[in-house]
Structure 1
Amino acid sequence: MLLMIANEEYRQFLESVRFVYGYDFTEYAEASVIRRIRSFMETNRIGGLKELGRLVMKDEAAFEHFIQEITVNVTEMFRDPQFYKSLRKNVVNRLATYPFIKVWIAGCSTGEEVYSMAILLREEGLLERTVIYATDINQDALQKAKDGLSTISNMKNYTENYIKAGGKNSFSDYYKAKYNSVLWDKSLRQNIVFSVHNLAMDKSFNEFQLILCRNVLIYFNQSLQNKVIDLFYESLCPFGFLGLGNKESLLFADKQKCFEEIDKKEKIFMKIK
């Protein structure tokens, strides 16, 4: 049976979450959030939004479980391999001109994209002078990213992605098998800073040469997308690069004309003013 969620009830619930916990989902794509709330309530046998509200407002552990379930954590190593191939071709040579490189991976989930970037930078001789800032709203996902573990059953797919992305070595050089998991090489993790950051509410915290935020904006409404693009613009150095997901764009962003398309298909942009 499909649980009904009234618009007013939905808005009140999101406002309560924002007031009590500081998480703002009011500008997330409504259909997507409602679908995930319904799934959470059905899985946990919660009869309605008022019951869910009472539960998460008085029980912080229940709220953390709720956040883990409704935030999206779909990711994989070298996802969309041609994107990484384009980074090697169009961005790496520019990054190499900086004595010190700062990369921000926003919405890093469980870290597969972070370790993909670390491997790419290692192979291009840039990792030692790079700091990668990996941020996400989901603390559970961040801890998994920090632990540097992935499921061993994914390695065949990840290896194929790595090869298609222009990988220069043997992919198995970068991890060690550990029971049913793999542990990413410690040297990849040394230059990564993991931290909670809420794109809907938090501000810029540094200046970066490269920002990757892929397949995150699709979960926001147009107003929040625009706000986040402004945040990235503010956080990029002059001629810094921005990488988005293949279903995302700057088409309706206020700062659209402040960026130049470096790779139209792979959604890589450069800040030009």
Structure 2
Amino acid sequence: MIEPRQTGEQQALNELELIELDLLVQGLYRAHRVDLRSYATASLQRRLRRWLALQGLPSFSAALHPLLRDAALVQSLLQQVTVGVTEMFRDPAVFLRLRGEVLPHLATSLAIKVWHAGCASGEEAFSMAILLREAGLEARSRIYGTDINEAALARARQGAYAVESLRLATRNYQASGGKLSFGDYYRVDQGLAWMDPSLKQGMVFANHNAVGDADFGEMDLILCRNLLIYYDREAKSHCFKLLDRSLRVGGFLVLGAQETLELQSIADRYQELSLGSRIYCKTAAAG
């Protein structure tokens, strides 16, 4: 079906909205150090339009004034922009490979450092903690979860989730090769499922922007799943370079199903475990 051509008036309105969007993004960065400048414009515009509708605001320019002065409103915006679908043991086949092919390699290290870039509310980090415990590696492991969304990080630190979400988590856990009853890892209280506090002992959750902030140490395993899809081409390239600098040779990088190292400048230093697995081993340092 051929799309109807826009009139000159429609094009002018679209250009005006893009100017307003740019002013909003720059204002968020200058006032709150919330950096959305690297997000793909079309995706960001679409998500922020939904947020405007929820807030009853008519335009990006109308949102700018309250956002500059209200940190809580900024957090509600970030909820709309940055939090995607997340669940325990999401894509069980990935965790099955981590359990069977990656953790045995990491077991040779005296200390294991795992970074979840774009950890959202922490479900993936808790899934990894369970994997490490069942592999007997928990005592020498450290898990770092980072995100730019402070509200999501607060939920991750709390480790409390909707009971209904745990039904799917139980199925995912079993499909990922889980060795025990998933119910052993949480308790239900006040309508929420609280993860076993001992799982949090080796966890650190922190605010970090994978595009604009500094490298994040020398990791053994980095999971950056379904974060890069938000970014424009230049930001993706910058993020991949940061991930590469943060991963030791012999370490592993895990991407989302729709993400790949193909055509990236760091690709020649990585080998995919199997075609389409999106789990890459770093085979060499930068030249």
TM over 0.5, shorter chain: yes
Letter in 2 for 1:24: D
**Distance across 2 between alignment mates of 1:71 and 1:78:** 19
Pairwise CA distance, 1:255: 0.6
Pairwise CA distance, 1:222: 1.4
The answer on 1:125 being equivalent to 2:141 is: no
Q: What's the TM-score, normalizing by structure 1?
A: 0.95
**Distance across 2 between alignment mates of 1:7 and 1:32:** 12
Letter in 1 for 2:165: N
Alpha carbons 1:86, 1:263 under 8 Å: kept: no
The answer on 1:150 being equivalent to 2:157 is: no
Pairwise CA distance, 1:70: 2.1
**Distance across 2 between alignment mates of 1:263 and 1:180:** 41
Greater mean alpha carbon deviation, residues 57-66 or residues 105-114: 57-66
Pairwise CA distance, 1:97: 0.3
Greater mean alpha carbon deviation, residues 135-144 or residues 251-260: 251-260
- Alignment CA distance shift 1:23-1:252 (3 Å): farther
Question: Aligned to 2:128, what secondary structure does the other structure show?
Answer: helix
Deviations 1:188-236 (A, max 9, x none): 1110011111112111131100000111111111111111110010001
Question: Aligned to 2:164, what secondary structure does the other structure show?
Answer: helix
Greater mean alpha carbon deviation, residues 54-63 or residues 28-37: 54-63
**Of residues 8, 16, 19 in structure 2, which corresponds to 1:8?**
19
Alpha carbons 1:74, 1:109 under 8 Å: kept: no
The answer on 1:171 being equivalent to 2:182 is: yes
Alpha carbons 1:149, 1:181 under 8 Å: kept: yes
Match of 2:61 in 1: 50
Match of 1:111 in 2: 122
**Distance across 1 between alignment mates of 2:18 and 2:61:** 13
Letter in 2 for 1:91: V
**Of residues 110, 116, 139 in structure 2, which corresponds to 1:99?**
110
**Distance across 1 between alignment mates of 2:217 and 2:232:** 25
The answer on 1:196 being equivalent to 2:197 is: no
Pairwise CA distance, 1:61: 2.9
**Distance across 2 between alignment mates of 1:85 and 1:33:** 33
Letter in 2 for 1:208: M
**Of residues 248, 251, 264 in structure 2, which corresponds to 1:253?**
264
The CA RMSD over aligned residues, in Å, is: 1.4
**Of residues 237, 245, 253 in structure 2, which corresponds to 1:226?**
237
Letter in 1 for 2:264: A
**Distance across 2 between alignment mates of 1:179 and 1:7:** 45
**Distance across 2 between alignment mates of 1:96 and 1:73:** 32
**Distance across 2 between alignment mates of 1:177 and 1:97:** 36
**Distance across 1 between alignment mates of 2:87 and 2:218:** 27
Question: Aligned to 2:35, what secondary structure does the other structure show?
Answer: coil
**Distance across 2 between alignment mates of 1:154 and 1:179:** 15
Deviations 1:128-187 (A, max 9, x none): 100000111100000101101011112221111001101111111111111321111111
The answer on 1:86 being equivalent to 2:101 is: no
Letter in 1 for 2:254: G
Pairwise CA distance, 1:48: 1.1
Where structure 2 has 5 or more consecutive residues not aligned to the other structure, the ranges are 1-12
Letter in 1 for 2:32: Y
Deviations 1:27-79 (A, max 9, x none): 21212111111111111111111111111113333223322332224200000
Paired residues in the alignment total 271
Alpha carbons 2:211, 2:242 under 8 Å: kept: no
Percent identity over the alignment is 38
Alpha carbons 1:121, 1:127 under 8 Å: kept: yes
